[in-house]
Amino acid sequence: MPDKKEFIIFVLLCVIALGLGYWYGLPDKPVTNIVVANPQPTPTTPNPLKIVPNGPTGAAAIDAAIRTELIAAGSIEKVRHIDLTRKMITNVSALARLKQLEILWLPFNNLTDISALSGLTQLKRLSLENNPDLTKAQIAELQKALPKCKIYSNPTK
């Protein structure tokens, strides 16, 4: 059983960790235009990925997720998985250039148009649950475009 001193130290460390997460997790000002670029483009590297802003929170979330995966993978061509759960995203057109994606999580957002995802032919799993404005017809059309992809969704319209 931990004593009182250990408990107080634990609580203080938790507060510090939460404070740092809050401090570094929020942008200083609204994000209006985000560009993810390769530091040294080569002739075989496509143009830098330009993210179309869809509101400061959604654009920042897409940028942060891509940067996190980019750091882990080493290059944009190696990014295979992106998790954008609960990021208030409305527009996914910025993801259309990530042709090598295999897993994409987009649940609990505010998506209205997912047609930009139809070109991601390497997708194996796509989560679109709890996007209230998506329709059954949109999901069916995307499933036709991505026959090898398991799409998780729950449209009500």
Residue 129 lies in a domain: yes
Please give the residue range of the domain that contains residue 71: 4-152
120 Cβ neighbours under 8 A, 6+ residues apart: 95, 96, 98, 99, 101, 104, 146
CATH, residue 96: 3.80.10
- Residue by residue, DSSP assigns 89-148 as --B-GGGGG-TT--EEE--SS---B-GGGGG-TT-SEEE-TT-TT--HHHHHHHHHH-TT
Residue 47 lies in a domain: yes
Residue 21 lies in a domain: yes
What would the pLDDT profile of 80-91 be if each residue is shown by its tens digit?
A: 899 999 988 888
Rounded mean pLDDT, 130-136:
94
Q: Is 55 helix (H, G, I), strand (E, B) or coil?
A: coil
pLDDT score recorded for residue 76: 75
Number of domains in the chain: 1
Tell how strand 103-105 and strand 49-51 pair up: unpaired
The pLDDT of residue 119 is above 90 = yes
The region of weakest confidence among 18-27, 111-120, 129-138, 145-154 is 18-27
- 32, burial (CB in 10 Å: exposed 0-12, middle 13-18, buried 19+): exposed
What would the pLDDT profile of 16-54 be if each residue is shown by its tens digit?
A: 765 555 555 544 444 444 444 444 444 444 444 444 445
pTM of the model: 0.60
Residue 104 lies in a domain: yes
Question: Which is more confident, 31 or 72?
Answer: 72
Residue 157 lies in a domain: no
The confidence band for 55, taking pLDDT boundaries of 50, 70 and 90, is: low
The region of weakest confidence among 53-62, 65-74, 138-147 is 53-62
CA–CA gap between residue 89 and residue 129 (Å, rounded): 13
Q: Is 36 helix (H, G, I), strand (E, B) or coil?
A: strand
pLDDT score recorded for residue 94: 85
**147-151 long-range CB contacts below 8 Å, 24 or more apart?**
148/121, 148/123, 148/124, 149/123, 149/124, 149/125, 150/124, 150/125, 150/126, 151/126, 151/127
The confidence band for 63, taking pLDDT boundaries of 50, 70 and 90, is: confident
Residue 127 lies in a domain: yes
Rounded mean pLDDT, 59-75:
74
pLDDT score recorded for residue 35: 46
